Amino acid sequence: MKIPVYLDYNATTPVDKRVLETMVPYFTEKFGNASSRTHSFGWIADDAVKTARRQVSELINCLEQELIFTSGATEAINLALKGVWENYQTKGKHIITVKTEHKAVLDTCAYLEKKGAEITYLDVNREGLIDLQELKNAMRKETILVSVMYSNNETGVIQPIKKIADLVHANNSILFCDATQVVGKINIDVQDEHIDLMCLSAHKFYGPKGVGALYIRRKDPRVSLFPQTHGGGHERGLRSGTLNVTGIVGLGKACEIAKLEMWDDAARISKLRTRLEQFVCGLPNVFVNGSTKHRLFNTTNICFQGIRSETIIKKIPNIAVAMGSACTSELAEPSHVLIAMGLSDEDSYSSIRFSLGKHTTEEEIKEVIEKIKQSVL
C-alpha cells in the first residue's frame, strides 16, 4: 500500500501511464504546430488533433465540429457564459444559475452582473437538488441562458439534467452544463440529454492538466458564441492561440480509455465508497451531506458534527482529503455549497470530502477507516 493515501480525486487525478506514453512523442519528434499547413510536421500535429477531437466526440456523443479545445473547464465556462451574454442580448439579459455552482460559474456570473446581466440564483434543498418548479417559475421570455452543474464537485450530487433541459428549451433558452466532475466517470450523451453547451477538463479523469474542451451545439438549436480571445482565428475563430497539441492528444487518449473502462471502474469504486461510508457513518454524530441516491459513485461528503475538519485532517497527515473544492481550499470561509444546502457554519466547518479513484485499493480504505476511528473516538 502506498503512503500517503490519496482520496482527493475530485481535485485532480494522476495521468494514466497510457495517456503519458501517447503524449511523449508530441513533446519531441512530433513537435509541429497544428496550424502549419506547408510541411509534414504541421500535418502530423493536425492529424493528432483531429484524432483527439474524434475521441472526445465519441465519449460524449457529439459532432467533431462541435468541440472547441481550451486550457480547461474554467476557460470553457468563461467562453460559454460570456459568449452567450454578448451574442444574445437582443433576446434578453437574464441568466439563471444555482447557488451551489463552482466558483468558475459564480464568479463569471458576478462579472456579468456588473455588465448589466440579471442573474437569478436558484436554491437547493438539503440533498443539494434544485426544485424544478422553482426553475420553471424563474424563467422569463428574456432568459437567455440557464447554467446548471451536472454533478457537484464537493458533494457529488447529480442534478436531473434531462428534465432541466426540457424546461429550458420550452422557454427557448440555452442550457449550459458544467460537467467537469462527471465526464470520463459516467456516461454522458449530450444528444440524449439535450445539453447545448458543456465543459470538461482532462485532469479530472486521468489526463493532463491545462487542457479541456467546450461542446457547442450546432443545430436544434444552433448555439453561437462571441469569441473571448482574438488573434489568429484558431478553433473556428472562437479560441485563438496555438493549440496545445500534446495536451489535446492526452485528452483524447483519456477519453478513449474512459469510454472502455468507466463502467468497471464505477462498480469497483462504488463498493469501496460504500464500505468507507458504512463504517464512518456508524460513528456518533456523523452523517453524509447531500443526496445518497443522486450522486457520483466516487464521492462522499461527511460531517463529523462537533469536530472541526481541520482537527481531523491534522491527525491523519498521510491521508489526502479535502474540506471543500480545491479552488476554494485556501479561503477561511464555510463551504458555499454546504451553506446553500442548509448546513450551519459549524457543520460546514466539520465536513470532509472523500473522493476515490481508479487507483484506490481495499487496503487503503481499511487504513483510512482505522485512522478516522483513531482521530474521532
CB-count exposure of residue 192 (10 Å: 0-12, 13-18, 19+): exposed
Closest alpha carbon to 52 in 216, 248, 262: 248
Catalytic residue selected from 177, 199, 255, 327:
327
Distance CA 323, CA 314 (A): 12
**CA-derived radius of gyration, the chain:** 21
Asked if 327 is an active-site residue, the reply is yes
- Structural contact between residues 214 and 185, judged by C-beta atoms closer than 8 angstroms: no
**Residue 161 to residues 51, 183, 210, Cα–Cα distance (Å):** 29, 14, 27
- CA 170, chain centre distance (Å): 26
Residue 4, preceding peptide bond in cis (omega within 30° of 0): yes
40 Cα distance to chain centroid = 36
Helix axes 103-114, 73-87, angle to 10 degrees: 30
Range list of H helices, the chain = 17-23, 40-60, 73-87, 103-114, 132-138, 161-170, 245-280, 309-315, 336-340, 345-349, 362-376
Residue where the block lists cell 442580448: 89
Burial profile 217-232: b = 16 or more Cβ within 10 angstroms, e = fewer: beeeeebebebbbeee
| Residues involved in catalysis | 327
